[in-house]
Amino acid sequence: MPAFLEPFRIKMVEPLPMTTRTERAAALERAGYNVFRLRAAEITIDLLTDSGTGAMSTAQWAALMNGDESYAGARSWERFERVVAELTGLPFVMPVHQGRAAERILFSCLLGAGRISVSNTHFDTTRANVELLGAEALDLPCADAADLTSEAPFKGNLDLDALDALLASPDAGRVALLVMTITNNLGGGQPVSLAHLREVRSRCESSGRPLFLDASRFAENAYLVSVREIGERGRKPREIAEETFRLADGAWASLKKDGLGNIGGLIALRDADLARRCRDLMTATEGFPTYGGLAGRDLEALAQGLLEVTDPAYLAYRANSTAWFADTLARGGVPVVRPFGCHAVYVDAGRLLPHIPPHQYPGHALACALYLEAGVRCSELGTLGFGRRQPDGPDLPSRHELLRLAIPRRVYTRNHLEHVAETLIRIAADPRALTGYRIVEQPTTLRHFSAVLAPLRAL
C-alpha cells in the first residue's frame, strides 16, 4: 500500500478558483505584493497556513448539531472541559476564540515591563503579545537548529547550556516563564523530544519558574517523538501527548491546528490563582469563561477533533505525505529544511536565492513568484516577518530566510501538491529571474500581515 494512503474518503467537494497569469499579476499589484492581502477567490491552492483551514470529519459535523448555545454552563462546555482535562491532566480549562487570545490573556497575567519570556522559539503573534506588554521574548533554540540540512531529529529543542547561563546571570530575576513551542514552527516544524522536555522541567522546578507549552501542534509533536526518540518508539501518540502535558504548569493552544477546528483555542492551567486571574480578564475581554468567545457548536467540534487527532493512522498519513512532498521538491533541486515535520514543508529561500539579500526579502520574492506562476499562496518566514527594524539602516535579518508551504489538514490531494512541486521546481531552475522587494508602507507590529511592498524591478 502507498506510504501515505489517506485514512479517509472525501464526502464533500469545493470548486477551486482557476485564474490566468494575467489575472494573478493584476491581483498581486492590487494587493500591494502581499499575499495576505489577496482575495481567497484569487487563490487556486492555499498553503498560507494550516491554522483553521482543515476539513472537519463527519463526526465533527455531526457534533455541531449537539451544540448547546447556553451563555453559561452549557453541555457543550462540559464536554469540551472533560476532553481537555483528560488529555492534559490540567484541572483549570478555559476556551478562547484562538491562540493569540490565549497568549494575550496568559501573558497579561504573567508578564510586565522588563520581564523575560524564554522559549525554544516564539512565533510571530507570541512574540508580539510579549512585546506589547513591554517584556522581552528571548529565543534560545538548540545548536542543531542552525543547520537546516542536518538530520538531527529534535531541532525544536531549547539550548540548555544557554538557559543555564541565563538562570545564573544577573538577568535571572527578570525571567518570568519558559515556553516550549511544540512543534517549533519558526524552526521548520521541528519537534521537541520528551527527554529534553523532562530536562527543561527539572530546570524550571529548581529555579522556581513555571513551564508552559504552546501546544498548537501537540499531536504532531507526539507522533514524531513516537517514531524518532529512542526509548519512546512504538508508544501511542496519545500516551506521549498526555505525558507531555503533565510535565507543564500550563498550556495554551490554537485549536485551529491539532484541534482540527476552523476556530477556537484553549488555556489549561495547574495553578488555581493564575486560573482565577485569567478568568477575570477573559470575562472582561473574551466572554464568559465557559464559552470564551466560541459558540457551543464550536466547542463540540473541537472536543471531537481533540479525540480524533491522536489517531496513529491519521498522524502517519500526515507525516508521510509531507515527507513525500518535501522529497519531491528536494529531488527537483529545491533546497528544503530537513528533517521533515508534519504541518509544512520549508524551502530555504536564502540558499535558493543568494543574489537577493535578507533586507530585500528572498522568501517573500519566492512566495510572489509561486503565486504568479501557479495561483499558489504560501508565506514567508524570514526577514519580512521576523527581522528587526532599524531606524538608520537595513533590517537586522532573521536567522533564516524560509518559505513555508503549510498543508491544511485533510484538504488537498497528491495531485494538488504535485502541481505545487512542479511549479517550484521550474522556478528553482532559473532563480536569478526573481527580484527582491522593498517596503512601501508598514504597520508598527506584525508588518508581514498588512505591509505594502513593491518589486525592485518589474516581474
Q: Are residues 148 and 271 in the same domain?
A: yes
**CATH, residue 448:** 3.90.1150.10
Q: Are residues 78 and 173 in the same domain?
A: yes
Q: Are residues 326 and 361 in the same domain?
A: yes
Q: Are residues 274 and 354 in the same domain?
A: no
Q: What is the pLDDT of residue 11?
A: 92
CA 428 to chain centre: 26
**CATH, residue 114:** 3.40.640.10
Residue 459 reports pLDDT greater than 60? no
Residue range 39-52: mean pLDDT, rounded: 96
Residue 449 reports pLDDT greater than 90? no
DSSP string, 190-251: B---HHHHHHHHHHHHHHT--EEEE-TTHHHHHHHHHHHSTTTTT--HHHHHHHHHHTSSEE
Q: How far apart are CA 355 and CA 456, in angstroms?
A: 13
Q: Are residues 376 and 432 in the same domain?
A: yes
Residue 91 reports pLDDT greater than 80? yes
Closest to 439 (Cα-Cα) out of 430, 450, 451, 448: 451
**3-state SS, residue 10:** coil
Q: Are residues 45 and 154 in the same domain?
A: no
The band of 331, judged by pLDDT with boundaries at 50, 70 and 90, is very high
Domain finish residue from 281, 308, 335: 308
Residue 115 cell numbers, joined: 520581564
Closest to 385 (Cα-Cα) out of 45, 35, 2: 35
The amino acid sitting at 150 is: S
Instruction: Name the average pLDDT for the chain.
Output: 95
Q: Are residues 223 and 330 in the same domain?
A: no
Render pLDDT for 186-241 as a digit per residue (tens, 0 to 9).
Answer: 888 999 999 999 999 999 999 999 999 999 999 999 999 999 999 999 899 999 99
Domain finish residue from 287, 308, 329: 308
Q: What is the pLDDT of residue 458?
A: 53
Which structural domain range is residue 71 located in?
A: 58-308
Q: Could you give phi then psi for residue 101, rounded to 5 degrees?
A: -65, -40
Q: What is the pTM of this model?
A: 0.94
Q: How many distinct structural domains can be found in the chain?
A: 2
Domain finish residue from 273, 308, 343: 308
Q: How far apart are CA 362 and CA 153, in angstroms?
A: 27
Q: What is the pLDDT of residue 2?
A: 61
Q: Are residues 240 and 316 in the same domain?
A: no
Closest to 162 (Cα-Cα) out of 110, 131, 118: 118
Q: Are residues 401 and 434 in the same domain?
A: yes
Q: Are residues 27 and 129 in the same domain?
A: no
Q: Are residues 112 and 239 in the same domain?
A: yes
Give the burial class of 419: count Cβ atoms within 10 A of its Cβ; 0-12 exposed, 13-18 middle, 19 or more buried: middle
Within 8 A by CB and 6+ apart from 425, the residues are: 329, 332, 333, 334
